[in-house]
Amino acid sequence: MVQAHEQRAAADYYIGANVELAPDVAIAAGVVLEAAPDARLVIASGVCLGLGVIVQAAGGKLVLGAGVNLGSGVLVVGQGLVGPHACIGAESSLLNPQVAAGTVLPARSLHGIPDAIADSPAASNGQPAPSADSGDNPETTDASATEIEPNGAAPTTPESNGLTPNRVVYGREQVTQLMKTLFPHRDALNDNGQNPS
């Protein structure tokens, strides 16, 4: 099925293994279509993939239905379905998508919640879940600590009393896992955010 696209220069886009592509799919420059060894990516007829779109099937089958339109910079990762004639706005991210036919998502949307986050107790109350292996436990803030003192004095904060505030980076594990999925041959970032050398 990929033969129709072989006429374009190889540098325009990348199509990996385990990808089924209809011959009339419109592909802009910078598009990456990949599937992990245990997964399959199926792109139906009439799909339009904008500039810099990345679609990575992982953990099962990922299907882009007939007539789907992905705006520039869209990221689709995981397994699931983007229903026929769905329109995904530019720079949106879909994680294990379950998008109904004809759905329109605005630009810069986040759709889908990773299982690790959805199963956590914090997801039910809308608070981000702290990383289990970060070793940091965020302290709860007492409501009275943020109120203005009756005498007009400024409330004490950890910065003003010499204590260092606890800085937890939420989502670091998910970003690391995403990087490993998208770029399996690249070393992960080390703890201080620098590339290992």
**For the whole model, what pTM was predicted?**
0.57
Q: Shortest CA distance to 36 belongs to which of 68, 77, 80, 1? A: 77
CATH topology of domain 2-112: UDP N-Acetylglucosamine Acyltransferase; domain 1 (2.160.10)
SS3 104: strand
Are 88 and 82 a contacting pair, CB within 8 Å? yes
In this structure, the chain runs to a length of: 197
Nearest to 53 by CA among 7, 2, 15, 22: 15
Residues of the chain with pLDDT under 70: 1-11, 113-170, 186-197
Contact (CB, 8 A) for 44 and 24 = no
Q: What is the pLDDT of residue 153?
A: 55
The whole-number pLDDT of residue 194 equals 53
SS3 assignment, position 95? strand
Q: For residues 72 and 66, is the Cβ–Cβ distance under 8 A? A: no
| Phi (first) and psi of residue 99, to 5 degrees | -105, 125
Q: Are 109 and 103 in contact, with CB atoms under 8 Å apart?
A: no
